Structure 1
Amino acid sequence: MSDSKLMRGTMVLTAATFASKILGLIYIFPFTAIVGSTGIALYQYGYIPYTILLSLATLGVPLAVSKFVSKYNALGDYRTGHRLFKSGLIVMSISGFFAFLLLYFAAPYLVPLIIDKMDYSISEGNSFEDIVFTIRMVSVALIIVPVMSIVRGYFQGHQSMGPTAVSQVVEQLVRIVFILAITYSIVQIMNGSIGLAVGFATFAAFVGALGGLAVLLTYWFKRKKYIHEQIEQSKVDHQLSLTSIYKELIKYALPLSFVGLAIPLYQLIDLFTFNKSVIPILGKEESEVAFAIFSATAHKIILIPMALATALSITLLPTITKSYTTNDKVLLQKQIDQTYQVILFLTIPAAVGMSVLAYPAFGALYGMTDFEMGGYILRYYAPITLFFSLFAVTASILQGMNKQKYAIIALGVGLALKLLTNSWLLSVLGPIGGVVATYIGYTASIGVTVWAIGKFAEFNYTLIAKRAFLILIFAGVMAVGVSIVNMGMQMLVPITTQIRAFPSLFLGVVVGAVIYLYLGYRSNLAGQVLGARFSFLNKKKQRQEG
């Protein structure tokens, strides 16, 4: 396959992943309006354990299978990759079914880890039965999703990104439509309970998976003949045993799996510590509201700039492997430098802007029900988007350099600090304690990955430090401007309803963008960072052409 076709496929997959994440953000607004914050908390009680078990059941299979199949296809051995695919379908079916059984029957034992037994009897908030029902409903998806992962990986190994891209988007669309339709029907039409509605909302993971699997099967039957022709034309057959195949696969999969689990593992620690530490301070219902905001509603807003930054920088990462392998140090350092700059240039102002506009942003997106607590948590939590982005990208760079073990070490150090400090900080600071513990963990993780890149890529951080300092100055000026506008708008149009929050948010975003981009353009920082992608930002190039 030509490089241009491979890059096009990678861009299609990146765009589909980005679209899927945006869809996953948008639905949370009407969903929150239907089930409320305690309903969102209940949804998270089921979904976080499901995400962890799904990752353990699949162990980074799509990318690992893709790498394995691509390697042997390049050697002219299509048969070995196909043997992995056939046996992998069986293995993933078994692992998925056992993961389903484990989560289904473990549900009653997980609930006491989330909320203390003495809090079940409190009428406000979610009951023991609601939480068990929700966990069991989402567990059914584990039967199908691991199977999908092996099919997606096999297609990607053939450098075909379309099936994965289309199935991801279809899966998300089907899931969202089912969530909104079923919860609205239960709550608004049938006057059913929030617990019943949220239980069926988590079941949408299974329904969405059926949609994604249908897409993959359609692609498979269309391409089956061509794939079998390739297998018959194999020039080589390495005749690897299944044991050897899976040893190699696991070597690829484990690092990918653990690094991809970073955010879910942090959320798992919060799941088992948040309510137990905060209920004595706020009470059960308020604690669940705070957990919903921290783990879902505010969290979804924070992921927006992270998705934008990584989508723009991810095109650089596949080339890092080639540069490192060929020992092209100049090109490698240029690629790492550009990746860092894109992340910092986009994410720092977004984090600062979200923090300043936390109250109008939360009010505009989620309404006034939990406005004060939502704005309060989002204000302090917003900068974490920079930490999420930096860890994701630095871990990817290390994987590209085949130094993934340092990414795993970094994650382990961060998780250990989060686990050690979370309960204590929550009990001292309330909901913000969980935010502070996340900052501590991610700071340590990023410290390790940044050090490892500096050591193994011989990367000099002097220029990055200067650029980061300049970006922080521009973001600070922007924050002052946005704060003045926001305070003025609060006096003119106080936020008393969801609709009245939009003018403050809109004007704040526009003013912030104008100030930051103007400073970036006038200093030519924007041109130096993004000029290769958007030539109109590069003042130096314009002067040369003029």
Structure 2
Amino acid sequence: MVSTKKASNHMVVQGGILASASLIVRLIGFFYRIPLVNILGEEGMGYYSSSFEIYSFMLIISSYALPAALSKIISKKITLRKYKEAHQIFKAGLLLGAFVGLITSSVMYFQAQNLASLIGSPGSVHAMRALAPALLIFSILAVFRGYFQGMNTMVPTAISQIIEQVFNAIFSLVMAYALLGQGVAFGAAGGTLGTGIGTLFGLLFLIFVYRMARPYFGKRMASDRVSTVEDGLFDYWQIIVMTSVPMLIGSTAYNLSGLVDTVLFQRGLLFQGYEPAFVAGQYGILASKYKLILTLPISVASALAAASIPGITSLMAKKEYAAVQHRGKQAIKMVLLVSIPSAFGLAFLAEPILLMLFGAKNIEIASLLMRLGAMTVIFYSVSAICIGILQGLGMIRVPVHHSLVALGVKVVFMIILIYVFDFGLIGAVLSNIIFSGLVATMNYLSIEKKIHLNMDYRVSVMYPLIAGLMMGIVAMVVHMMVMAMSNSNVIGTLTAIMIGGLFYVILLIKIGGITEVELLIFPKGNKLVALAKRLRLM
């Protein structure tokens, strides 16, 4: 019983490490893309983002499921002390990863012209070719990550992810700036070169860790008296592929939405008769300003979702259903407490935030998109945490089905709004609102049906909405006052965000929207509670 509890706690800790690393990686990704947008401009970011949608899709179908699949297989072998078999699967995985990575990278490089034509972005050819080698490197990197995760340690994977993103950020900016003189399309290609370089450094780190740990692995294999090692290479490949396919289907379904946006939006504008350079610029606004800003608060929800899966899985295995219900309800409320003020903040301070980060170019349309689409922060955040809970409950296929249904509805609306009525950017944002709202609703209702969360909507939804709305108004007024005194948008925006955030927390506490126990869950929760009590808010 004690060992089971230790294993469960270990799983939660390891899941937390990986979730924390994921959040750090997303934050680095957010902050380096701000100067990248300013280097490449909207047209360059259109080419950059278009090539990344193709790269991301090919990465998913080639190797994205490899770490989780190998982790699952190797973990079972390690539990049975079949260390030799675990290592044979690792070696088979390396060969499979290299083989699949070589195929996908070759397709992306040699078919770049056709792929760029398919998505309606002819200027993204160079960026796609620059990205192609990263597919091969990542396929091998994915196998090493799966091996270490199968050994029940997430630390090497977490550190390699951070190293990968740091080098990606540095070289993306340096290469984009260096190649921009040859043209916008080459500048975008320079920006994508950083991805491959970052992936290479992440792989080199894991190879170093593996070589350092090889004597330990060797001793374990020497003590192995259980393994039979009778299976051949293709037998191991079959095991890996069969384990990967269900995960692959899920990952593909979740990420199809971005590819659909790219293809339908750009081809829709071309269909309406716009020039390719203008189309790239419009997609650059959508991908590099609107979507980029929305990504940051959603990343917090995604990290919380990743951290919630091991704990809920463990509780389900022990049949502690009341605890599962409590954990699920608590996780959703925490996400709402973060995502709702984020949405209101982006809606009320859309123009000042965009002006501070990207300058005045196309500020009107970008601000309008932000105000319209701010609510998707709530929808995507709720959807992310619900997917994490559903996976923890073992309902892996349910969110996949929901994503596909919502995607079908989104396609219909994009065709009507962009191809029929030529709504352009507005049509893309409205379609995204419908998609995200539908997915969040269906995922939540599935959880409610399974474990009956019995959420207190007044406290969990209405109170944060009231506090968020009031916060938005206060932040806007503060920004106007600071601008009147200093005429500095940067000072005004940062001051408005800080005062608005503080106002939200104080008001939420005063109206009973958050309890002391819930406040303790947040980072530095002890200090927050102590401060609240000192100020007599609690």
Same fold (TM over 0.5): yes
The answer on whether the counterparts of 1:345 and 1:529 sit within 8 Å (CA) in structure 2 is: no
CA contact (8 A) 1:317 1:400 kept: yes
Amino acid in structure 2 at the alignment position of 1:315: A
Match among 217, 224, 229 for residue 227 of structure 1: 217
Task: Give 2:62's aligned residue.
Answer: 57
Shift of residue 221, structure 1, vs aligned partner: 0.3
Which aligned pairs between 1:361-510 and structure 2 lie closer than 5 A? 361-427=353-419, 428=421, 429-456=423-450, 458-464=451-457, 466-489=459-482, 500-510=488-498
State how many pairs are aligned: 524
Any gaps of 5 or more consecutive residues in structure 2? none
Tell me, yes or no, if the aligned pair for 2:43 and 2:284 is still in contact at 8 Å: yes
Residue 258 (structure 2) pairs with residue 253 (structure 1): no
CA deviations 1:231-278 (Å, max 9, x no partner) are 232353375746665565455534444444466421211111112323
Matched, 1:308 2:300: yes
Quote the residue 1:353 is aligned against.
345
Q: Distance in 2 between matches of 1:32 and 1:262?
A: 28
Residue equivalent to 2:16 = 11
Q: Is the 8 A contact 1:390 1:446 kept in 2?
A: yes
For 1:340 and 1:206, locate their aligned partners in 2 and report how far apart those are by CA, in whole Å: 36
Is the Cα contact below 8 Å between 1:521 and 1:537 reproduced in 2?
no
Distance 2:482 2:250 in 1: 42
Give the alignment partner of residue 172 of structure 1, picking from 165, 171, 181.
Answer: 165
Question: C-alpha separation between the residues in 1 aligned to 2:230 and 2:369?
Answer: 53
How far does residue 448 in structure 1 lie from its aligned partner after superposition? 2.5
Q: CA deviation at 1:480?
A: 2.2
- Report Cα offsets for 1:314-360 as digits up to 9, x if no partner: 43321111211222111110110111111111111111111111111
1:477 to 1:252, Cα distance in 2 relative to 1, 3 A: farther
The percent identity for this pair of structures is: 23
**Structure 1 residues 246 and 522: alpha-carbon distance in aligned structure 2, compared to 1, 3 A threshold:** farther
Give yes or no for the alignment of 1:199 onto 2:223.
no
Distance 1:400 1:219 in 2: 30
1:522 is aligned to: 510
Kindly provide the amino acid, as one letter, of the partner of residue 208 in structure 1.
G
Aligned to 1:97: 102
Farther off after superposition, 11-20 or 57-66: 11-20
Further displaced range: 332-341 or 12-21: 12-21
Contact 2:380 2:440 in 1 (8 A): no
CA deviations over 1:387-432 (Å, ceiling 9, x no partner):
2222222112111111101121111112111222213223433202
Query: What is residue 267 of structure 1 aligned with on the other side?
Result: 258
CA spacing shift, 1:93–1:151, aligned 2, 3 Å: same
The match for 1:513 is: 501
- CA distance in 1 between partners of 2:24 and 2:455 (Å): 35
Which TM-score applies when normalising by structure 1? 0.88
Q: How far apart, in 2, do the equivalents of 1:403 and 1:241 lie?
A: 32
Letter in 1 for 2:492: S
Correspondence for 1:186: 179
Q: Which residue of 1 aligns with 2:145?
A: 152
The one-letter code matched in structure 2 to 1:501 is N
| Bigger shift: residues 509-518 or 104-113 | 104-113
SS of aligned partner of 1:27: helix
* Pairing 1:78–2:67 present: no
Corresponding residue number in structure 2 for 1:297: 289
Q: Structure 1 stretch 161-170 or stretch 142-151: which is displaced more?
A: 161-170
Equivalent-residue separation in structure 2 for 1:37 and 1:462 (angstroms): 43
Asked if the contact 1:298/1:362 (under 8 Å) is kept, the reply is no
Answer yes or no: is the 8 Å Cα contact 2:376–2:433 preserved in 1: yes
- Consecutive unaligned residues of structure 1, counting only runs of 5 or more, are 116-125, 495-499
Of residues 328-337 and 522-531 in structure 1, the stretch that sits farther from structure 2 once superposed is: 522-531
Q: 1:96·1:143 contact (CA, 8 Å) conserved in 2? A: yes
What amino acid is aligned across from residue 72 of structure 1 in structure 2? K
Retained in 2: the 8 A contact 1:48–1:264?
Answer: no
Cα distance 1:169–1:483, how it changes in 2: closer, same or farther (>3 A)? same
Q: In the alignment, is residue 212 of structure 1 matched against residue 202 of structure 2?
A: yes
CA contact (8 A) 1:356 1:479 kept: yes
> Letter of the aligned partner of 2:462 in structure 1?
F
What amino acid maps onto 2:296 in structure 1?
A: I
1:122 is matched with none
Partner residue in 1 for 2:93: 88
How far is the alpha carbon of 1:160 from its aligned partner? 1.9
Q: Answer whether contact 1:273 1:423 (CA < 8 A) is retained.
A: yes
CA distance in 2, matches of 1:282, 1:362: 25
Question: Partner letter of residue 271 of structure 1?
Answer: T
Paired with 2:119 and 2:273, the residues of 1 have a C-alpha distance of: 16
* Residue identity matched to 2:43: T
Query: Whole-Å Cα distance in 1 between the matches of residues 280 and 119 of structure 2?
Result: 11
Matches of 1:138 and 1:462, distance apart in 2? 45
CA deviations on 1:254-309 (whole Å, 9 max, x unpaired) are 44444444664212111111123235387554432221121233212111112223
Distance 2:267 2:190 in 1: 26
> What does 1:328-339 align with in structure 2 at a 5 Å threshold?
328-339=320-331
Deviates more, 1:411-420 or 1:285-294: 285-294
**1:531 corresponds to which residue?**
520
Matched, 1:163 2:153: no
AA of the residue aligned to 2:190: F
Q: Given that residues 176 and 187 in structure 2 are in contact (C-alpha distance below 8 angstroms), is that contact kept between their aligned partners in structure 1?
A: yes
Instruction: Go from structure 1 to structure 2 and tell me whether the alpha carbon gap of 1:176 and 1:328 turns closer, same or farther (over 3 Å shift).
Output: same
- Residues 64-89 of structure 1, C-alpha deviations (whole Å, 9 max, x = no match): 21122222212222233222211111
Q: Distance in 2 between matches of 1:246 and 1:414?
A: 34
CA distance in 2, matches of 1:473, 1:68: 48
- Specify the SS of the correspondent of 2:182: coil
- Alignment of 1:343 with 2:335, yes or no, is yes
Secondary structure of residue in 2 paired with 1:525: coil
Alpha-carbon contact 2:328-2:389 (below 8 Å) kept: yes
Q: Which range moved further: 19-28 or 224-233?
A: 224-233
Aligned 8 A contact 1:104 1:135 in 2: yes
Task: Flag as ranges the 4+ runs of structure 1 deviating above 6 A.
Answer: none
Q: Which amino acid aligns with 1:378?
A: M
Query: How much has 1:59 moved relative to structure 2?
Result: 4.4
